[in-house]
């Protein structure tokens, strides 16, 4: 009897967590019934603990709602379960990877209260997605230099590197990101790391045409201009879109003089606390383990406390930061033009 009670307690603890992480705009009963291919009545019995969830059913729910197994096992603070996301090597994998990011952002936006914290060692991926040449260059760099894609052996970069489908997905990701309230912490190296990649590829003869390299530089400037305008206003909006004066503030940009070390993302909603840590440039590990999240949240708050806010305030410091970045692009651009 005690053993059955313990099993029921584990299931009910899992169901309670499931209710917290499930988007508010869905019917949990309908979702469980569809996922497990059972009737709504059977789904109700599982939610009430009257019918035991099988191991396969539990794993299916964990995969769909991105719930770590340590929620079920109530493991110690020394054990954390992560989900793993990797950038694929072919175009199909690339589209699937970014569709996954799109779905993640749509899930976050399904909650009324949501916020993303981003400590950025490199430019957050969202900012590349509204400029064709810059976005294409980053994809080319990731696949050629990080993933060593053999399909790119001997292939030089041109701005038509991305397929239309990938462009459409990437722009949708940027649109979803503009809807989420966010706090980003950058350093000078956050921006300069991508500029160094451009310089290395130009000097290594990896561009098919000089104009392609200059177009990437031009997109760099456009990205910075748009980012600076968002920082000035304190909210995000799409390029080409006229910002509304009464739009709610949803963008905080901080500049840090401390080294960040890696890209760390924290996602907070009324139902989810998720921590994501990048490694090997573009792969990532994610978990909503409570203890792990709280440790990273403390680190993030300490980093923010030691950083300078340049969105909405600090006009002089904001101008100086972006001018320095534009000057760095101009230097690379002039070097390309004179060769």
297-315, pLDDT tens digit by residue?
999 999 999 999 999 899 9
Beta strand residue intervals within 161-231, DSSP E? 181-186
Structural domain including 51 reads 2-65
Number of neighbours of residue 158 by Cβ within 10 angstroms: 16
Kindly state whether residue 203 falls inside one of the protein's structural domains: yes
pLDDT at res. 3: 46
Kindly state whether residue 275 falls inside one of the protein's structural domains: yes
pLDDT at 186 over 90: yes
Kindly state whether residue 76 falls inside one of the protein's structural domains: no
Residues 233 and 100 in one domain: yes
pLDDT at res. 221: 95
Nearest to 262 by CA among 307, 300, 212, 205: 300
Residues 139 and 32 in one domain: no
Pairing of strands 114-119, 181-186: parallel
Residues 161 and 203 in one domain: yes
pLDDT at res. 191: 86
Average pLDDT over every residue of 201-222: 94
In the chain, count H helices and then E strands. Answer: 12, 8
pLDDT at 1 over 50: no
Residues 47 and 148 in one domain: no
Residues 238 and 95 in one domain: yes
Burial class (CB in 10 A: 0-12, 13-18, 19+), 114: buried
- Considering only residues 5 and 253, tell me which one the structure prediction assigns the higher pLDDT: 253
Residues 112 and 156 in one domain: yes
Residues 54 and 87 in one domain: no
pLDDT at res. 286: 85
Number of neighbours of residue 337 by Cβ within 10 angstroms: 11
Our measurement of the distance from residue 226's CA atom to the centroid of its chain's CA atoms, rounded to an integer in Å, reads: 19
């Amino acid at each position: 009897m005690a053993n059955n009670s313990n099993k029921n307690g584990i299931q009910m603890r899992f169901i309670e967590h499931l209710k917290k992480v499930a988007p508010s705009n869905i019917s949990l009963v309908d979702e469980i019934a569809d996922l497990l291919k059972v009737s709504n009545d059977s789904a109700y019995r599982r939610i009430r603990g009257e019918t035991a969830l099988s191991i396969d059913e539990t794993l299916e729910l964990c995969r769909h709602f991105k719930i770590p197994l340590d929620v079920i096992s109530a493991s110690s603070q020394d054990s954390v379960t992560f989900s793993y996301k990797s950038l694929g090597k072919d175009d199909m994998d690339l589209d699937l990877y970014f569709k996954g990011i799109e779905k993640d952002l749509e899930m976050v936006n399904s909650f009324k209260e949501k916020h993303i914290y981003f400590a950025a060692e490199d430019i957050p991926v969202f900012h590349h997605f509204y400029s064709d040449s810059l976005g294409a260059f980053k994809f080319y760099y990731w696949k050629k230099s990080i993933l060593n894609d053999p399909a790119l052996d001997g292939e030089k970069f041109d701005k038509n590197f991305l397929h239309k489908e990938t462009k459409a997905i990437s722009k949708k990701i940027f649109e979803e990101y503009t809807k989420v309230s966010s706090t980003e912490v950058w350093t000078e190296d956050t921006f300069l790391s991508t500029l160094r990649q451009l310089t290395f590829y130009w000097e290594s003869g990896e561009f098919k045409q000089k104009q392609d390299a200059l177009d990437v530089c031009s997109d760099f400037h456009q990205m910075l201009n748009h980012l600076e305008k968002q920082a000035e206003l304190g909210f995000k909006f799409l390029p080409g879109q006229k910002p509304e004066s009464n739009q709610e503030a949803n963008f905080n940009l901080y500049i840090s003089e401390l080294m960040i070390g890696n890209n760390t993302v924290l996602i907070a909603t009324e139902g989810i606390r998720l921590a994501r840590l990048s490694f090997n440039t573009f792969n990532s590990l994610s978990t909503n383990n409570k203890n792990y999240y709280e440790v990273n949240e403390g680190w993030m708050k300490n980093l923010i406390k030691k950083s300078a806010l340049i969105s909405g305030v600090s006009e002089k410091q904001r101008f100086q930061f972006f001018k320095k970045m534009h000057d760095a692009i101009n230097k690379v651009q002039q070097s390309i033009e004179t060769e």
